[in-house]
């Protein structure tokens, strides 16, 4: 099962609450002109078309499931699904009605619903049963395709299992030295260009070449240090990066990780054992104080003033007391629910430390990000077979995601 599919499945537990925020049902009779507009192309993917109706349906589906609901995210997902379907069709993969029915049943059960209740909820929120079937069908077919294509390449060694157990166990842990490189991905064209550049870097990923590329191309402030990060405990990394890093050898790169408006790649420079256990971070409390002006001199000066005035996250309440409530956000969230770019920055921080690497509103707002504290999972023991399957699934997922990026870079994609 792909990461995107698992993410959507987890959202099912929130469906009942989200149903109250229903969208307008598409039950009205459409005029011929409106119907024509709804089925107008919004993207061409090789010789396939994505229609306005499909895009509208996907946005509605994502909103019911509690996921991202922007048209850009929905269109990107539909484009990727066209490419996945093409790849699966080339090897003759098909899905049966029985498999789709089973998928709907399993998906509905995650929200403690029966299949007919699940489909009825979707219908009330303007999502057709066929849209649900298409969504699940693509996920099921791609899962089988990824296992068949990448299963042999994704073998997990005993030493990797030992490393994972050490990371989770009470006897000690691991810390890593990473380098990071972030490239812009605000539009499909920009994303394709950045993905092509990543492929060029990956063709000769020496530590010196990666550093030179980070200094030249990265849009992150760490470009001033050629992308080099300080030591970080593996357990403090966000789950997607943690899963990727644990299988790397020094000098190797991760597959691209999306952070919304950018894609990031990481290179492992060094790994070291520690005497202190490094369990996985379970939840993080953090503060985000938003400063107008992006990375302007005035905004950075304001951030420096705030940093000098606060020692803890609670101190930010005093800083923001005369400002709109929206300028300060203090949350405690499961690590998996924290946006990737925020989670990556937080992994570099200890409680009380600050990052000003991120922006919002297309670069017009500076994020003053402060780590408040972490809680950790209790991992007293772990089964080797379970760890093997987890690592195998993570590796297949990473290989499959990288393959989709290649398909996208090689495809003819036109967005009218």
Q: What is the 3-state secondary structure (H, E, C) of the chain?
A: CCHHHHHHHHHHHHHHHHHHHCCCCCCCCCCHHHHHHHCCEEEEECCEEEEHHHHHHHHHHHHHCCCCCCHHHHHHHHHHHHHHHHHHHHCCCCCCHHHHHHHHHHHHHCCCCCHHHHHHHHHHCCCCHHHHHHHHHHHHHHHHHHHHHHCCCCCCCHHHHHHHHHHHCCCCEEEEEEEEEEEECCCHHHHHHHHHHHHHHHCCCCHHHHHHHHHHHCCCHHHHHCCECCCEEHHHCCHHHHHHHCCCCCCCECCCEECCCEEEEEEEEEEEEECCCCCCEEEEEEEEEEEECCCCHHHHHHHHHHHHHCCCCCHHHHHCCCCCHHHEEEEEEEHHHCCHHHHHHHHCCCCCCEEEEEEECCCCEEEEEEEEEEEECCCCCCCHHHHHHHHHHHHHHHHHHHHHHHHHHHCCEECC
Give the contacts of 301 (CB within 8 A, at least 6 positions apart): none
Sheet architecture: strand order including 262-274 = 232-233, 173-184, 262-274, 257-258
The more confidently predicted of residues 24 and 129 is 129
What class does CATH assign to 173-273?
Answer: alpha beta
CA distances for 214 relative to 92, 180, 182, 224, 359, angstroms: 41, 7, 8, 9, 19
Q: Is the pLDDT of residue 309 over 90?
A: yes
Q: Is the pLDDT of residue 376 over 90?
A: no
What's the confidence (pLDDT) of residue 3? 38
Q: Is the pLDDT of residue 65 over 80?
A: no
Among 33-37, 117-121, 141-145, 284-288, the least confident range: 33-37
Q: How confident is the model at residue 89 (pLDDT cuts 50, 70, 90)?
A: very high
Among 202-206, 256-260, 317-321, the least confident range: 256-260
Q: Which residue in the block uniquely carries the two structure tokens 């069709």?
A: 89
Among 162-176, 195-209, 279-293, the least confident range: 162-176
Q: Is the pLDDT of residue 45 over 90?
A: yes
Q: Is the pLDDT of residue 254 over 70?
A: yes
What class does CATH assign to 283-375?
Answer: alpha beta
Question: Structure tokens of 286?
Answer: 């953090």
With pLDDT > 90 as the criterion, what percentage of the chain qualifies? 47
Residues facing residue 263 across a β-bridge: 183, 258
What's the confidence (pLDDT) of residue 205? 87
Instruction: Give mean pLDDT, residues 243-268.
Output: 87
Residues facing residue 39 across a β-bridge: none
Q: Is the pLDDT of residue 101 over 60?
A: yes
Answer whether 25's CB lies under 8 Å from 125's CB.
yes
Q: How confident is the model at residue 36 (pLDDT cuts 50, 70, 90)?
A: low
Domain 36-169+380-415 and domain 173-273, same fold? Reply is no
Residues in the chain: 416
Which of the residue ranges 232-241, 266-275, 326-335, 381-390 has the most confident prediction, judged by mean pLDDT?
326-335
- When computed from its CA atoms, the radius of gyration of the chain, rounded to whole angstroms, is 22
What's the confidence (pLDDT) of residue 17? 32
Instruction: Give mean pLDDT, residues 105-122.
Output: 83
Q: Is the pLDDT of residue 294 over 90?
A: yes
What's the confidence (pLDDT) of residue 69? 61
What's the confidence (pLDDT) of residue 180? 96
What's the confidence (pLDDT) of residue 13? 33
Instruction: Give mean pLDDT, residues 13-35.
Output: 37
Q: Is the pLDDT of residue 408 over 70?
A: yes
Among 47-51, 107-111, 205-209, the least confident range: 107-111
Strands 232-233 vs 173-184: parallel, antiparallel or unpaired: antiparallel
* Ranges of each domain in the chain: 36-169+380-415, 173-273, 283-375
Instruction: Give mean pLDDT, residues 122-132.
Output: 90
Q: How confident is the model at residue 175 (pLDDT cuts 50, 70, 90)?
A: confident
CA distances for 289 relative to 88, 202, 313, 327, 372, angstroms: 45, 36, 10, 6, 13
Superfamily of chain region 36-169+380-415:
Porin chaperone SurA, peptide-binding domain (1.10.4030.10)
Q: Is the pLDDT of residue 30 over 70?
A: no
pTM of the model: 0.49
Among 101-115, 194-208, 395-409, the least confident range: 101-115
CA distances for 129 relative to 38, 126, 156, 223, angstroms: 18, 10, 39, 48
Rounded to whole angstroms, the Cα distance separating 124 from 130 reads 14
What's the confidence (pLDDT) of residue 27? 35
Instruction: End-to-end CA distance of the chain: give it in Å, rounded.
Output: 32
């Amino acid at each position: 099962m792909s990461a995107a599919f698992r993410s959507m499945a987890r959202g099912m537990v929130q469906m009942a609450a989200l149903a109250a925020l229903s969208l307008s049902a598409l039950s009205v009779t459409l005029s011929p002109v409106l119907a024509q507009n709804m089925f107008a192309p919004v993207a061409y993917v090789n010789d396939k078309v994505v229609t306005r109706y499909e895009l509208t349906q996907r946005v509605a589906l994502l909103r019911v499931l509690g996921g991202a609901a922007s048209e850009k995210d929905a269109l990107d997902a539909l484009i990727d699904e066209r490419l996945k379907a093409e790849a699966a069709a080339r090897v003759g993969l098909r899905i049966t009605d029985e498999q789709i029915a089973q998928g709907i049943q399993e998906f509905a059960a995650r929200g403690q619903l029966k299949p007919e209740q699940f489909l009825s909820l979707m219908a009330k929120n303007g999502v057709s049963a066929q849209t649900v079937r298409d969504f699940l069908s693509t996920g099921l077919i791609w899962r089988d395709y990824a296992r068949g294509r990448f299963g042999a390449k994704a073998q997990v060694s005993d030493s990797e299992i030992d490393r994972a157990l050490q990371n989770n166990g009470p006897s000690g842990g691991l810390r890593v030295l990473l380098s990071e490189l972030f490239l812009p991905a605000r539009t499909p064209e920009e994303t394709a260009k950045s993905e092509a550049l990543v492929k060029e870097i990956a063709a000769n990923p020496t530590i010196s070449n990666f550093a030179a590329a980070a200094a030249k191309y990265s849009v992150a402030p760490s470009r001033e240090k050629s992308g080099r990060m300080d030591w970080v405990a593996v357990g403090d990394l966000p789950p997607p990066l943690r899963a990727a890093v644990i299988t790397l050898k020094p000098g190797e790169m991760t597959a691209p990780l999306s952070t919304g408006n950018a894609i990031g790649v990481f290179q492992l420079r060094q790994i070291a054992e520690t005497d202190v256990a490094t369990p996985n971070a379970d939840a993080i409390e953090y503060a985000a104080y938003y400063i107008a002006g992006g990375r302007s001199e005035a905004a950075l000066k304001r951030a420096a003033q705030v940093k000098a005035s606060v020692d803890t996250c609670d101190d930010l309440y005093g800083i923001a007391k005369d400002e709109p409530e929206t300028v300060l956000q203090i949350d405690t969230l499961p690590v998996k629910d924290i946006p990737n770019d925020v989670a990556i920055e937080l992994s570099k921080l200890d409680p009380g430390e600050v990052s000003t690497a991120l922006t919002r509103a297309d670069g017009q707002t500076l994020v003053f990000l402060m780590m408040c504290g972490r809680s950790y999972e209790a991992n007293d023991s772990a089964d080797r077979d379970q760890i093997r399957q987890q690592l195998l699934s993570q590796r297949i997922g990473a290989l499959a995601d990288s393959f989709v990026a290649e398909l996208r870079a090689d495809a003819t994609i036109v967005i009218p």
